[in-house]
Structure 1
């Protein structure tokens, strides 16, 4: 049996770090996004009228926020409590392996799911549901407790850890598939990365330099992204461990490049954490002694690995028509048609499910066999271990079965072949996000210029109009490009999505406009207060304009300007604070309503004091400071034990 005890422990510690970043980032933004005076107050999602019992309320919307009245708190302060509990639990798991247990991860999942339930448009991101799915897997991967004496992993450990690898496969493969099934001309023309670095939500400073790389190199990099997401995931279940380890390095390399050029919060770190499922304990603890047979097996394994990846390189050369030109550049073009890809995809989906099923069957058989034959102890111990393994096997089989439903949706022909009973079971648990469909960057936006919504205020309807600057998203063309991950400024992110549509498709913008007109400090904290043009008093009028942004040319980078922009037109019309349609709409949406303060004064004082301290530190700096503190605690504990 392959040992994955240390590998599993590393994965669980990593998941605690991801949870820590996620809860901290959310906590910072609660007042401005979900507070009583925020953009989308969470209380509007919890209609407690009608005399429903607690069980009825939880059935209506499963969230721990319903417990707020029982601890003498309102919804906003209860959000603080849940986020703080998540921070504490994840931090303890980060600094001590003994807290990486199933009950702790069950608590973390419940807390994040409770926040997600009222997150609305600011939490409808794939990384949030990915964290929920990965977090649920942690519950079955983690042990119930860590015994004081060291022991090898139980037979069920490798089996449950297999479910993490299946999630990684679905995430990466789906992300590659949707880019081509969407029919997006930039992906099919291998021009996606010529646009991506400029058009992504919050680019880093390195994205500017990446954007100005030679066109042929960016096209070749697009080929690499296709191969890394479409082909390499198929090797995640290859029997040869060196093939899987090489796949691990390739996927981590891809994620590190994304981290360097784009601020995607904790998403890429979470993906790297999932990649640990491709490893085993032997990766960290090499065998000290080998005989001639093991030397030959290792040599043969290396040959197989080289042969497999040579095949991948050759396939890339053929299907992407790679040619070296006279200028020593590499020319690339997709050498297959959409019809050929569609047919191949239909075959690959079936085969990948069968491969997953065979791999799962082998993992189950191996786990059960070792439960019966390899467990030391009495007959009762063997029986209990076997029954436990079978229980975990049933859970993994259930998750695998329902994951086939969203996975099959990648191709219409397979979606129709999924049994109706399986679809029904999936629909019953879909709201829990135990399994999800994935696929990022389905279509490349910003081909003709990066759209940006610029909000402006004025005390006179005739002007002059002065711009509000956000903390991280592009606005002022002279502002430098930030490194903000793993923090996710959710308002900045949503402003990027708003620019892709109209304000009618993003009604939350009306609430943002109203809060700015009211000078609400909780919302103003989410934008750049140092450059707030209405610091003394809010404006009388608000409007928004749509601009197209482009990176400055390479030859002009000697100046401090990172962007050039041109105005496209009006985004939303002029509003005033007493604009009747605006007030009527926000009242109907329960954003404006009378509030009844019913908060325990002691708890309120404690929570306000804590937030006051936290608000003095920039968000990304706070996240990395807490992480550094955890690392310092771990190292000091290690040194104490060592001495």
Structure 2
């Protein structure tokens, strides 16, 4: 069935699958190390409470059938183990059906996590990993050449990711049309990286070039993915270069990396396929074509959203996250705000009490502490703290629980932080939160103070709060 497969994409499939397995590994590792404080039985947004009010049909998940912290940990670490096996190429040692089932396991496990993850898992790259991971199930292994229709669907996903992101920018903040958004973005992005300070201080004309290049890569280049080779390869390679530039400029979890993985699926790597490859069996061809047709039908809603003047970002249109819509930074903040959480051991809190600051791993805190590179690992609490600084409404569901866990000196919650200012066994009596405005220092300020940030107090975010018999209580 020469019409069904593309033997010259043999190495392309291999590179794509191994890279995707690496992203899966990071995603499951993130879940395994952070879930207890975020989603566990004593978490800020407990899974048992969620599944008690949301039916299975709206959020299909293994955890709808049973939940315990031990079971969740088992699923997350199983996902890690299967990802390592796929990274090592175990799927190629199995029969075709066995390789497909092996790729189905991480998809099912991660779908179960995302569908009960609530606001902690509300990011576009969660759905993107699931959509791409489902297509990986259909790609087969060394027993057959890669199906043409699945390679096309991978390009279709990449097109929607990039073109949708380009459209949301052109329809959104006027600074994208004026080419001025990067005058602010590197400073106000959710989690700056170690080079963000330098990117922010690039000459403004170069920022204009960056924005223009971004528009070209997201609005023109994606169309070239559907042209003959080697044009499609050149287009995908340009996308890879653009994503690596974004990797250097900030911490965006695995968004850039999963986009790179998608782009790799469109690059035809030079390689000689095996001399004799059997035709794809009918039991494989028929389901692949049927599922491909279903996915194209389901694409109607994302396409309708993409062409709509009221385009929305990062939305899933089905509970299995098979086909989704994407986009990022339709608007760009001009000012950076950060919520600073502090505690005191004083029985009666006063302004002149000794307030000690909690340090987070990734989000800005101490002005002298330089940002670190965490991506593709995702610091979920740090990201949500950025949203909380934009508006207290984003923090309504979980911030009170965070304060309660800090007052209780909850070990799992403290593991999410870089440092607690209180010694073990001696938690604070009160906690407060204050909102500060942050900005990158200038070259001169950096030389004089050694600080990469300058911050100024804005207002109170949460007044001093203590534990009562039922939880946090404001005296």
Q: TM-score, normalised by structure 2?
A: 0.89
Matched, 1:168 2:158: yes
Write the mapping of 1:306-345 to structure 2, written as runs, cut at 5 A: none
Alpha-carbon deviation of 1:502? 1.4
Match of 2:32 in 1: 27
Q: 2-side partners of 1:503 and 1:58: how far apart?
A: 27
Q: 1-side partners of 2:250 and 2:272: how far apart?
A: 35
Write the mapping of 1:466-545 to structure 2, written as runs, cut at 5 A: 466-503=356-393, 506-529=396-419, 531-533=420-422, 535-545=424-434
Structure-2 change in CA distance of 1:186 and 1:506 (3 Å): farther
Runs of 4+ in 1 over 4 A off after TM superposition: 56-61, 579-584
Matched, 1:276 2:255: no
Q: 2-side partners of 1:166 and 1:440: how far apart?
A: 18
Q: What are the Cα deviations for residues 596-634 of structure 1, in whole angstroms up to 9, with x where unaligned?
A: xxxxxxxxxxxxxxxxxxxxxxxxxxxxxxxxxxxxxxx
> Which of 225, 228, 231 pairs up with 2:214?
225
Alpha-carbon deviation of 1:412? 3.1
Q: 1-side partners of 2:465 and 2:198: how far apart?
A: 39
Q: Which has the higher Rg, Structure 1 or Structure 2?
A: 1
> Which of 151, 169, 183 pairs up with 1:179?
169
Partners of 2:19 and 2:261 within 8 A in 1: yes
Which has a greater percent of strand?
Answer: 2
Match of 1:237 in 2: 226
Q: 2-side partners of 1:60 and 1:188: how far apart?
A: 38
Alpha-carbon deviation of 1:533? 3.6
> Which of 442, 453, 463 pairs up with 2:339?
453
> Which of 117, 124, 145 pairs up with 1:126?
124
The secondary structure found in structure 1 opposite 2:360 is: coil
Matched, 1:43 2:41: no
Match of 2:303 in 1: 407
Partners of 1:186 and 1:192 within 8 A in 2: yes
Q: 2-side partners of 1:513 and 1:169: how far apart?
A: 42
Write the mapping of 1:41-190 to structure 2, written as runs, cut at 5 A: 41-47=46-52, 58-59=56-57, 61-66=59-64, 68=66, 75-98=68-91, 101-143=99-141, 146-147=142-143, 153=145, 157-182=147-172, 184-190=173-179
Alpha-carbon deviation of 1:506? 2.8
Q: 2-side partners of 1:194 and 1:502: how far apart?
A: 26
Partners of 2:155 and 2:262 within 8 A in 1: yes
Q: 2-side partners of 1:441 and 1:413: how far apart?
A: 16
Structure-2 change in CA distance of 1:564 and 1:65 (3 Å): same
Q: Report the count of equivalent residues.
A: 454
Partners of 2:58 and 2:319 within 8 A in 1: no
Match of 1:395 in 2: 291
The secondary structure found in structure 2 opposite 1:481 is: coil
Q: TM-score, normalised by structure 1?
A: 0.66
Alpha-carbon deviation of 1:270? 0.8
Q: What are the Cα deviations for residues 205-228 of structure 1, in whole angstroms up to 9, with x where unaligned?
A: 111111111011111111111111
Alpha-carbon deviation of 1:177? 0.5
> Which of 321, 329, 333 pairs up with 1:441?
329
Alpha-carbon deviation of 1:25? 1.3
Partners of 1:13 and 1:97 within 8 A in 2: no
Q: 1-side partners of 2:271 and 2:179: how far apart?
A: 41
Q: 1-side partners of 2:131 and 2:473: how far apart?
A: 39
Structure-2 change in CA distance of 1:388 and 1:46 (3 Å): closer
The secondary structure found in structure 1 opposite 2:230 is: helix
Structure-2 change in CA distance of 1:376 and 1:85 (3 Å): closer
Q: 2-side partners of 1:96 and 1:518: how far apart?
A: 45
Write the mapping of 1:342-361 to structure 2, written as runs, cut at 5 A: none
The secondary structure found in structure 2 opposite 1:98 is: helix
Q: 2-side partners of 1:434 and 1:235: how far apart?
A: 24
Alpha-carbon deviation of 1:202? 1.5
Q: 1-side partners of 2:384 and 2:398: how far apart?
A: 10
Q: What are the Cα deviations for residues 494-530 of structure 1, in whole angstroms up to 9, with x where unaligned?
A: 101111111575321011011111111111111123x
Match of 1:557 in 2: 446
Q: What are the Cα deviations for residues 324-367 of structure 1, in whole angstroms up to 9, with x where unaligned?
A: xxxxxxxxxxxxxxxxxxxxxxxxxxxxxxxxxxxxxxxxxxxx
Unaligned residue ranges in structure 2 (runs of 5+): none
The secondary structure found in structure 2 opposite 1:165 is: helix
Match of 1:252 in 2: 240
Q: 1-side partners of 2:106 and 2:178: how far apart?
A: 43
Alpha-carbon deviation of 1:59? 4.4
Match of 2:437 in 1: 548
Alpha-carbon deviation of 1:141? 1.7
Alpha-carbon deviation of 1:252? 0.7
Matched, 1:569 2:459: yes
Match of 2:180 in 1: 191
Partners of 1:39 and 1:523 within 8 A in 2: no
Q: 2-side partners of 1:286 and 1:564: how far apart?
A: 56
The secondary structure found in structure 2 opposite 1:575 is: strand
The secondary structure found in structure 1 opposite 2:31 is: helix
Alpha-carbon deviation of 1:16? 0.9
Q: 2-side partners of 1:225 and 1:504: how far apart?
A: 29
Match of 2:195 in 1: 206
The secondary structure found in structure 1 opposite 2:354 is: coil
The CA RMSD measured in Å over matched residues stands at: 2.7
Q: 2-side partners of 1:544 and 1:509: how far apart?
A: 10
Match of 2:15 in 1: 10
Partners of 1:4 and 1:158 within 8 A in 2: no
Alpha-carbon deviation of 1:198? 0.7
